[in-house]
Amino acid sequence: MAKPKNKKELLQTPKGMRDILPHDFLYWKAIETKAEDIARSYGFKPIRTPHVEKTELFGLTLGETSDIVEKQMYAFKTRGGDALVLRPEGTVPIMRAYFEHGMHTWPQPVMLYYSGSFFRHENPQRGRYREFGQFGVEIIGEESGLADAYIIRVFALILQEAGFKKFTVHINTLGDKECRPEFRKELVAYYRRKVNSICKDCKRRLKENPLRLLDCKNPMCVEIRADAPQMMSYACPSCRAHFKTVLEFLDDFEIPYTLDPHLVRGLDYYSRTVFEIFTDPDAKEKPEKKSEETPASAAEEPEKKAGQNEGRIALGSGGRYDTLAETMGDRKAAGVGGALGLDRIVDELKERKITPFKEKAPVVFLVQIGAQAKRKSLVLFEQLRKSRMGVAQSFSKDNLRAQLELANKLGAAFALIIGQKEALDGTVIVRDMGSGTQESVYQKKVLDHLKKKMKNG
Ligand SMILES: [Zn+2]
Ligand SMILES: [Zn+2]
């Protein structure tokens, strides 16, 4: 094994990875808890799949020429010779699990939610990490456009409850096997005529993945895109009707949306509905300056901040995947789903100074002076914990004043003080942190005493 150049490197996360420290973790936990509560009450059930899957599963389903499969997968050979990857997204593993466990024989649709880490080897940018957290929901076994709107509704509720006041759903239809080929043909014909004015990547996309032409952020290509054919004009009657249903339900749910004919998403498995949810930059306290003229390096094409679209930031996305099951082994199952990007949601909340949780102050702080008091106070501490009264203590500070200062800092209503004398005679001093008054109480009775005091306010 290669030795690190210097030991300092050992003390750094790998490139594009990061630690979530205690204070940030509270944001993550709060969002996940809200998301789970809402998903559960809307009928979704939890599922957890492995972080590792077979490599070929994603090649078949996401498309061999998709950016993820071509460039971004953490693929490796195990000691036993299996070709595996760290999962780059959540829908494919869940569809795999759906068939592996015979969920197609359960009452349909099957509604699942998940939360966890996913991995893509991308160029690290602000707000984009190589290990990233997603909260996702899937409805499998349902063709109706109601399911599409239902997914978006659940995301909208989660974002609202997390504290986002303004966001917009960008939505488009990609058609299906009936109508997309015609659109694709026209799209290719259009871009062939403009081939000298598109970027290098788009020249490649034109051959391999023409839908992605619409996704290019290069200003040159954005200009050409304006007159490109739009899928809606080619949608067959059933795709049209489906899209109309989705939009009608969004109207009923009072979810703001924008029709975005250039929204395509990067994966092969999407059909019909695709969507992305953007925050409104106006909602920010300090709008960021756009830095479009500062590409990261001369070699790269200029690109905006990860996930940005005209200054908006994508918090979530998804779509319908009615043909995914077929690519996985001649199965049939309609489905729709999506995921919220937890990293970006947390970053945006912090930037907006929105705290999605309350840090509860302990009611009681246990002050212990001397070794004997420390031993005695453990029993009392456990009683208080069991009573669900918020209780805190400090193991390392032995001095009365330092411990009272900490109790004050944490916002405790009472300090319980056990010194040498109290440890011997089984009492405890109850100090009201507000008024500073103190009284001596038997340890056995302290719980009742505190409850009474709290009731009397
Ligand atoms: Zn381009
Ligand atoms: Zn169609």
Q: State the ligand closest to the CA atom of 175.
A: 2
Question: What spacing in Å lies between the alpha carbon of 294 and ligand 1's midpoint?
Answer: 17
Question: What spacing in Å lies between the alpha carbon of 313 and ligand 1's midpoint?
Answer: 20
CB atoms within 10 A of CB 46: 11
Question: What spacing in Å lies between the alpha carbon of 235 and ligand 1's midpoint?
Answer: 25
pLDDT at 291: 42
Question: What spacing in Å lies between the alpha carbon of 320 and ligand 2's midpoint?
Answer: 13
Please answer whether residues 257 and 168 qualify as being in contact, where contact means their C-beta atoms are separated by less than 8 angstroms: yes
Q: State the ligand closest to the CA atom of 273.
A: 2
pLDDT at 292: 40
Distance from chain centroid for Cα 93 = 17
Interatomic CA distance for residues 441 and 457, integer angstroms = 18
Which of 372-400 are b and which e, b meaning 16 or more Cβ less than 10 Å from the residue's Cβ? ebbebbeebbeebeeeebbbbbeeebeee
What are the residues whose beta carbons fall under 8 Å from the beta carbon of 395, sequence distance 6 or more? none
pLDDT at 286: 43
Question: What spacing in Å lies between the alpha carbon of 257 and ligand 2's midpoint?
Answer: 22
Question: What spacing in Å lies between the alpha carbon of 175 and ligand 2's midpoint?
Answer: 4
Q: State the ligand closest to the CA atom of 225.
A: 1
Q: State the ligand closest to the CA atom of 221.
A: 1
Question: What spacing in Å lies between the alpha carbon of 236 and ligand 2's midpoint?
Answer: 4
pLDDT at 321: 96
Question: What spacing in Å lies between the alpha carbon of 270 and ligand 2's midpoint?
Answer: 13
Q: State the ligand closest to the CA atom of 201.
A: 1
From residue 370, give the alpha-carbon distance in Å to each of 15, 218, 398, 421, 427. Answer: 47, 68, 7, 10, 15
Q: State the ligand closest to the CA atom of 173.
A: 2
Tokens of 87: 């999962």
Q: Which domains does the chain have, with CATH numbers?
A: 11-179+235-351 (3.30.930.10), 364-455 (3.40.50.800)
Please answer whether residues 369 and 417 qualify as being in contact, where contact means their C-beta atoms are separated by less than 8 angstroms: yes
Please answer whether residues 219 and 197 qualify as being in contact, where contact means their C-beta atoms are separated by less than 8 angstroms: no
**pTM confidence score:** 0.87
Question: What spacing in Å lies between the alpha carbon of 216 and ligand 1's midpoint?
Answer: 5
Q: State the ligand closest to the CA atom of 176.
A: 2
| Phi, psi dihedrals of residue 17, rounded to the nearest 5° | -105, 160
Distance from chain centroid for Cα 134 = 3
Question: What spacing in Å lies between the alpha carbon of 182 and ligand 2's midpoint?
Answer: 10
Q: State the ligand closest to the CA atom of 235.
A: 2
E strands, 207-341, are: 257-259, 271-279, 308-309, 312-320, 335-341
Q: State the ligand closest to the CA atom of 272.
A: 2
Question: What spacing in Å lies between the alpha carbon of 99 and ligand 2's midpoint?
Answer: 26
What are the residues whose beta carbons fall under 8 Å from the beta carbon of 250, sequence distance 6 or more? 149, 152, 153, 169, 171, 257
pLDDT at 98: 97
175: which DSSP letter? -
Q: State the ligand closest to the CA atom of 198.
A: 1
Question: What spacing in Å lies between the alpha carbon of 411 and ligand 2's midpoint?
Answer: 61
Successive 10-residue mean pLDDT values, the chain, 457 residues: 70 93 96 98 98 92 80 93 96 96 97 97 82 97 97 97 92 94 94 94 90 89 93 96 98 95 85 93 48 38 44 87 90 96 94 89 92 86 90 85 93 94 94 95 93 84
From residue 77, give the alpha-carbon distance in Å to each of 17, 58, 74. Answer: 22, 15, 10
Question: What spacing in Å lies between the alpha carbon of 174 and ligand 2's midpoint?
Answer: 8
Q: State the ligand closest to the CA atom of 301.
A: 1
Question: What spacing in Å lies between the alpha carbon of 266 and ligand 1's midpoint?
Answer: 14
Interatomic CA distance for residues 415 and 408, integer angstroms = 9
What are the residues whose beta carbons fall under 8 Å from the beta carbon of 344, sequence distance 6 or more? 127, 307, 313, 314, 315
Interatomic CA distance for residues 240 and 173, integer angstroms = 8
Q: State the ligand closest to the CA atom of 243.
A: 2
Question: What spacing in Å lies between the alpha carbon of 185 and ligand 2's midpoint?
Answer: 15
Question: What spacing in Å lies between the alpha carbon of 234 and ligand 2's midpoint?
Answer: 8
Question: What spacing in Å lies between the alpha carbon of 190 and ligand 1's midpoint?
Answer: 14
Question: What spacing in Å lies between the alpha carbon of 272 and ligand 1's midpoint?
Answer: 24
**N-terminal to C-terminal alpha carbon distance within the chain:** 64
Question: What spacing in Å lies between the alpha carbon of 268 and ligand 2's midpoint?
Answer: 16
Question: What spacing in Å lies between the alpha carbon of 202 and ligand 2's midpoint?
Answer: 26
Question: What spacing in Å lies between the alpha carbon of 260 and ligand 2's midpoint?
Answer: 18
